[in-house]
């Protein structure tokens, strides 16, 4: 059900998954830029709390809905961002069939909505479409190495199918589609219990609990601060002409999981130790984006170093955990 008034300014933009980690930052940035924003979310992995600070804004509306159901928006839309999909492995594996349907049926529903409104459409795809990559760093021309029957397939193959739907819509001329392949992104408003590496390590360090390194800890990831990602998404959405190809958005700095654990411990006054736990099946061993395409076509590159981004994120988690503790006190 839609809430808040429908006053119009700038563009009218629907953000599916707008109450999630990245989505809440995107809604905020789009409002700051003078647009009217409609956030559509079923709160599966997001939270009304993520957009609470936006609720007083007369140009912000929330629709609570699953994108797998029929979507109707009366107001004319200029742009649609599709971020609606659980992103952390424990979350997307909790109901794998719904995850797959979210990417396929849900993306299909949003593409039809975009077609009806002649709205430009941006799909939040993922570095997971490269699977456990055999090429390094990953360029957009690489077709990937995904296990289509494993426990990550609901997410990886769902996102691959969504990309196929997007490019078919582009080829037949029904929707002006853009596809961002997002690499690991972190920052404030991640759920503390979300299960991803950055939130896990920070929360564990702040609670003086052991940091859980899965496997040897030699596997690598590249970590992008959320404000950099949001800037890249907005540039891609507004880029003219449409690049017509997927674009990697991520920070090319590459760190092992053990290095990240040490870095977090060096920044938090903590009694935590490091423990090793089993490596989840099909866990990609190396990941780093080649961002030459984003640099050339969008004039985009990340600005926030991991050291600084972690400091902001740790400070936010400190405040959030303190509020949670205070709320539990009798
Ligand atoms: P998130 O889980 O915090 O946010 C996803 C949001 O989508 C949540 O608010 C959730 O409630 C909503 N949602 C999920 N399924 C839905 C459905 N069927 N209908 C309506 N809403 C639904 O994840 P995030 O990190 O903010 O990721 C946002 C998008 O970016 C996702 O599509 C994800 O696949 C993509 N992505 C993120 C990263 C990352 O590192 N954060 C990396 C690659 C791709
Ligand atoms: N990881 C870890 N400890 C944790 C959470 C994750 O060692 O508590 C590892 C995980 O095995 C993977 C990397 O960190 O190698 C990134 O995991 P995440 O779930 O954040 O994202 P993804 O695997 O989707 O890149």
Is residue 4's pLDDT more than 70?
no
Whether the ipTM is more than 0.95: the answer is yes
**Dihedral over Cα of 184, 150, 110, 40: its sign:** negative
On whether the CB atoms of residues 260 and 201 are closer than 8 A, the answer is yes
Distances (CA, A) of 180 to 7, 55, 78, 118, 277: 30, 28, 18, 20, 32
Which pLDDT value is given to residue 329? 84
**Nearest-atom index, ligand 2, CA of 201:** 8
**pLDDT 10s digits, 57-93:** 999 999 999 999 999 999 999 999 999 999 999 999 9
Longest Cα pair distance anywhere in the chain, in angstroms? 60
- Reply yes or no on whether the pLDDT at 249 is more than 70: yes
Give the number of the ligand closest to the Cα of residue 90.
Answer: 2
Probe target for ligand 2 pocket from 21, 159, 197, 288, with the most ligand atoms within 8 Å of CB: 197
- Position 125 scores a pLDDT of 98
For residue 198, give the ligand nearest its CA: 2
Residue identifier of the C-alpha nearest atom 4 of ligand 2: 197
Domains and CATH numbers, the chain: 10-186+224-252+287-303 (3.40.50.720)
The ligand 2 atom nearest the CA atom of 280 = 11
**Active site annotation includes 186:** no
Alpha carbon nearest to ligand 2 atom 25, residue: 184
Given this model, what pLDDT does residue 8 score? 52
Contact 162, 125 (CB under 8 A): yes
User: Which of ligand 1's atoms lies nearest the C-alpha of 128?
Assistant: 43
pLDDT tens digits for range 121-137: 999 999 999 999 999 99
- Percent of the chain beyond pLDDT 70? 97
Taking 70 as the threshold, does the pLDDT of residue 7 lie above it?
A: no
């Amino acid at each position: 059900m839609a809430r808040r008034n429908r006053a119009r300014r700038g563009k009218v933009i629907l953000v599916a998954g707008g109450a999630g980690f990245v989505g809440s930052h995107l809604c905020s940035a789009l409002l700051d830029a003078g647009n009217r924003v409609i956030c559509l979310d079923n709160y599966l992995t997001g939270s009304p709390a993520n957009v609470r600070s936006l609720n007083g804004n007369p140009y912000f509306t929330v629709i609570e809905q699953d994108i797998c159901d029929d979507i109707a928006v009366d107001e004319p839309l200029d742009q649609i961002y599709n971020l609606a999909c659980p992103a952390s492995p424990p979350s997307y594996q909790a109901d794998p069939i719904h995850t797959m349907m979210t990417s396929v049926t849900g993306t299909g529903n949003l593409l039809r909505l975009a077609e009806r409104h002649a709205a430009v459409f941006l799909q939040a795809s993922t570095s997971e479409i490269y699977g456990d990559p055999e090429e390094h760093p990953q360029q957009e021309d690489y077709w990937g190495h995904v296990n289509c029957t494993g426990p990550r397939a609901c997410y990886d193959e769902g996102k691959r199918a969504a990309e196929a739907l997007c490019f078919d819509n582009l080829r037949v001329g029904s929707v002006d589609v853009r596809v961002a392949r997002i690499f690991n992104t972190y920052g404030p408003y991640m759920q503390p219990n979300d299960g991803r590496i950055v939130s896990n390590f920070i929360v564990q360090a702040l609670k003086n609990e052991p940091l859980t390194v899965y496997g040897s800890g030699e596997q690598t990831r590249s970590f992008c601060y959320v404000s950099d990602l949001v800037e890249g998404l907005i540039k891609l959405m507004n880029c003219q002409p449409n690049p017509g190809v997927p674009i990697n958005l991520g920070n090319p700095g590459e760190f092992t999981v053990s290095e990240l654990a040490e870095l977090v411990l060096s920044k938090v006054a903590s009694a935590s130790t490091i423990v090793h736990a089993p490596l989840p099946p099909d866990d990609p061993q190396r990941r780093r984006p080649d961002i030459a395409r984003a640099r050339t076509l969008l004039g985009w590159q990340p600005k926030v170093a991991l050291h600084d981004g972690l400091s902001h994120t740790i400070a936010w988690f400190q405040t959030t955990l303190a509020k949670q503790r205070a709320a539990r006190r009798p």
